Amino acid sequence: MIYIGCDHGGFALKQEIFKYIKEDLALEIEDLGCYDTSSVDYPDYAEKVCNKVIAENAQGILICGTGIGISIAANKIKGIRCALCSEPFSAEMTRKHNNANVLAMGGRTTGSELAKSIVKAFLSTDFEGGRHQNRLDKIAALENIK
C-alpha cells in the first residue's frame, strides 16, 4: 500500500500523482488529504502519512509547496526515512542505499511529468541491503539521542 498526503501547496500535484499511481502503475494507494486548496499545515499530513507507513511497513508520498517543510516534519517521526527528490536518479538511489520509505516532492517546484518519473523510480526500486544496512542502523541509533 502507498499512502499519499499533501498541504494546499501540493494539492494539484497530489491529484495527478494519485491518478498516475492508481491507473498507470496499477498500485494500491490511499489519499490521506488534504482534499482542496484551503490553507492547512503540512506537519499534520506528514504525521498522518508517516503513521500509516510505520504501522503497515508501507511507502508514502508527501507533497507541499517545495517539499522541504513536509520532508523535515516527516523525518521527525521515528522510523521514517523521507527523501526530498527533484529528479529520478535521487529517488532511485534513496531507495537502493537509504531504504527511504517516504518520498517528498514540491508541488510548486516539480512539473507533473517529472514528478511521475520520480515516483516511478522510487516505487520500482528495492533496497540493496548489504553495506547499506550498517549505515541505516547508525541512522536509527541517532533517533535515540536526546
Please tell me the number of Cα atoms within 13 Å of 119 on its side-chain side: 29
Residue 61: CB atoms within 10 A of its CB come to 28
Q: Which of 49-58, 94-103, 109-118, 136-145 has the lowest mean pLDDT?
A: 136-145
6 DSSP β-pair partners:
63
Query: Which residue, 13, 15, 24, 16, is CA-closest to 123?
Result: 24
- Tell me what pLDDT residue 65 has: 98
Tell me if 101 sits within 8 A of 80, measured CB to CB.
Answer: yes
Check if the beta carbon of residue 93 is closer than 8 Å to that of residue 121: no
Q: Looking at residues 35-46, what average pLDDT do you find?
A: 98
- Residue 145 clears pLDDT 90, i.e. is over it: no
The whole-number average pLDDT for the span 50-63 is: 98
Q: What is the pLDDT of residues 2-13, one digit of tens each?
A: 999 999 999 999
Report in angstroms the alpha-carbon separations of 99 from 72, 102, 127, 129, 145: 17, 9, 5, 8, 21
Residues annotated as catalytic (active site), given as ranges = 64, 97
Segment 85-91 shows an average pLDDT of: 98
Domains (ranges, CATH) in the chain? 2-142 (3.40.1400.10)
Residue 146 confidence (pLDDT) above 80: no
What value does the mean pLDDT of the chain take? 97
